[in-house]
Structure 1
Amino acid sequence: MVERFEVALNTPAGRLTTAIDVPTGFIPITAIVPVTRRLGEEASQLEVQRVIAAGQTISCRMGCAACCRMLVPLSAPEAFALREYVGQLPTDRRTLLFNRLGDTKDRVKREGLWDRLNDVAEAARPVPDEQLDPLNRAYYALRIPCPYLENEMCSIYEARPAACRELLVTSPAELCQDLVQNPVTPLPVSMRISSILGLVWGSLTNSPPRLIPLPIALEWAERHEEESRRTWPGSSLLDQVLDSMWRFLSQAFQKK
């Protein structure tokens, strides 16, 4: 059985109202990930409508994968959800994916970055930006295609991380060929869904909010499989998600 909730959120780009169905029983954290992402996407769509009304355009198009060389962060719930999704893929697709992941791991290890990625994922406290920025830049400098890309198309599009969904730009697409040197103009994001899910998971498990680099997400999720089996009341998980969203939105309004 499910319970329907009417959700209303005031965002800097307008008011978001929607209905959400949440199971009435106990559910794992992965069950709340799709709903949370949906709220993030609806908030993003309000931003898209706002910039279009202002005469701008979104440059991102299907097949444009310039940003798919960045080090993408996931929350723990997203990593668990990705592992579930990959586990349900047909065997041939899963084999190809694991081969690409293995190639990426070998390359990142040769460059001396693999252990640093694991250190971030397993950190006992949130890693400050001044430590993350050099790692992000070092990874991006390698220009490694995301292992989930197939012919420059996302092979896990419906399950892709929130950070990928949130990255839209209004600057010319060609500037994305070098996201460090070029003046790229991203669409404002009032709610970072990976951060919100990370905060929720940290609160539920009394652990630090952590962000897990995408190349190691499946390995991390496997190491922490037992944690992923824990369950909570569905309405309680939604309450925690909405509470974190309201905090993010409050900060976004303060910055305006």
Structure 2
Amino acid sequence: MIERFEVALNTPAGRLTTAIDVPTGFIPITSIVPVSRRLGDEAAQLEVQQATAAGQTVSCRIGCAACCRMLVPLSAPETFALRDYVDQLPADRRVSLLHRLSDTKDRLKQSDLWDRMNDVAEASKQVPDEELDPINQSYYALRIPCSYLENETCSIYEARPAACRELLVTTPAELCQDLVQNPVTPLPVSMRISSILGLVWGTLTDSPPRLIPLPMALEWAGRHEEEARRTWPGSSLLDQVLDNMWRFLSQEFTNRGRADGKDR
């Protein structure tokens, strides 16, 4: 059975209202990922509308892959969902993708980055930013195209990670060709879905809110297959997601000098 929830979130860019259908029975964590991403997408659209009203133009477009040389982090729930998505791809596309991932792994091993990234993915406690930054910088310096690109277009666009969805800029697209040398202006992000799902997963499993680098996501999901099979009541998962969203929004209102906006 399905239960419908009417959700309202006050974001710094406006009020988000929507209806969400969630199974009433026990479901895996992957079932809540599309719902979470949808809320994140709708919050991002409010930011786009606010920027447009202020005379700004978002330069990001489908097919622009300049930022697809950055190291993308996924939460554990997103990682399991990505594995499920890849498993249902046509065989020829899946084989091609796995070949590209293998090539990327070889390059990262040659650069002594693979093991460092794996340490992050399997860390027993949350890794601080000062340890992540050198890894991110070293990865970007290699300019490795994302393995999920096909002809410079995202091959998993409808299932792409939240971090990819949230990176929108209002500066000219050509500046994104070198994000180290060129100043770019990203849109504000009201709530980071990867972080929210990571916190939910950490609470459910009594583990740190880990982030898994995209190049090793499928391997990580395979090693943690048993965890992916666990289930929880659908309404309970939604409540945890919304609770963490409200926390993020409250902090974002504070950061932007606005009053707290918690409503449901």
Q: Which interval holds the TM-score relative to the shorter structure? A: over 0.9
Per-residue CA shift, 1:129-157, capped at 9, x if unaligned?
11100100000000000000000000011
The reply on whether 1:103 has 2:103 as its aligned counterpart is: yes
Instruction: Using the TM superposition, give the Cα deviation of residue 181 of structure 1 relative to its aligned residue in structure 2, in angstroms.
Output: 1.6
Taking the TM superposition and a 5 Å limit, the aligned residue runs for 1:163-178 are: 163-178=163-178
SS at match of 1:68: coil
Look up the equivalent residue of 1:180 and give its one-letter code.
Answer: V
Look up the equivalent residue of 1:38 and give its one-letter code.
Answer: R
Look up the equivalent residue of 1:100 and give its one-letter code.
Answer: R
Look up the equivalent residue of 2:191 and give its one-letter code.
Answer: M
Instruction: Using the TM superposition, give the Cα deviation of residue 63 of structure 1 relative to its aligned residue in structure 2, in angstroms.
Output: 1.4
Structure 1: runs of 5 or more not aligned: none
SS at match of 1:67: coil
Taking the TM superposition and a 5 Å limit, the aligned residue runs for 1:18-33 are: 18-33=18-33
Per-residue CA shift, 1:38-70, capped at 9, x if unaligned?
000000000000000000000011211000000
- TM-score normalized with structure 2 length: 0.96
SS at match of 1:184: coil
Q: Which residue of 1 aligns with 2:63?
A: 63
Partners in 2 of 1:61 and 1:157 — Cα distance? 12
Partners in 1 of 2:158 and 2:60 — Cα distance? 17
Look up the equivalent residue of 2:62 and give its one-letter code.
Answer: M
Calculate the aligned-residue CA RMSD, in Å.
Answer: 0.4
Q: Which residue of 1 aligns with 2:50?
A: 50
Instruction: Using the TM superposition, give the Cα deviation of residue 16 of structure 1 relative to its aligned residue in structure 2, in angstroms.
Output: 0.4
Partners in 1 of 2:181 and 2:33 — Cα distance? 34
SS at match of 2:4: strand
Per-residue CA shift, 1:141-196, capped at 9, x if unaligned?
00000000000000011110000000000011111011112110001001000000
The number of aligned residues is: 256
Partners in 1 of 2:199 and 2:180 — Cα distance? 28
Partners in 2 of 1:128 and 1:254 — Cα distance? 22
Partners in 2 of 1:84 and 1:173 — Cα distance? 32
Q: Which residue of 1 aligns with 2:130?
A: 130
Q: Which residue of 2 aligns with 1:210?
A: 210
Look up the equivalent residue of 1:30 and give its one-letter code.
Answer: T
| Runs of 4+ residues deviating >2 angstroms | none
Q: Which residue of 2 aligns with 1:232?
A: 232
Partners in 1 of 2:218 and 2:151 — Cα distance? 22
Per-residue CA shift, 1:58-84, capped at 9, x if unaligned?
001121100000000000000000000
- TM-score normalized with structure 1 length: 0.99
Instruction: Using the TM superposition, give the Cα deviation of residue 217 of structure 1 relative to its aligned residue in structure 2, in angstroms.
Output: 0.3
SS at match of 2:250: helix
Per-residue CA shift, 1:215-253, capped at 9, x if unaligned?
000000000000000000000000000000000000001
Q: Which residue of 2 aligns with 1:187?
A: 187
Q: Which residue of 1 aligns with 2:261?
A: none
Taking the TM superposition and a 5 Å limit, the aligned residue runs for 1:216-255 are: 216-255=216-255
Partners in 2 of 1:231 and 1:253 — Cα distance? 33
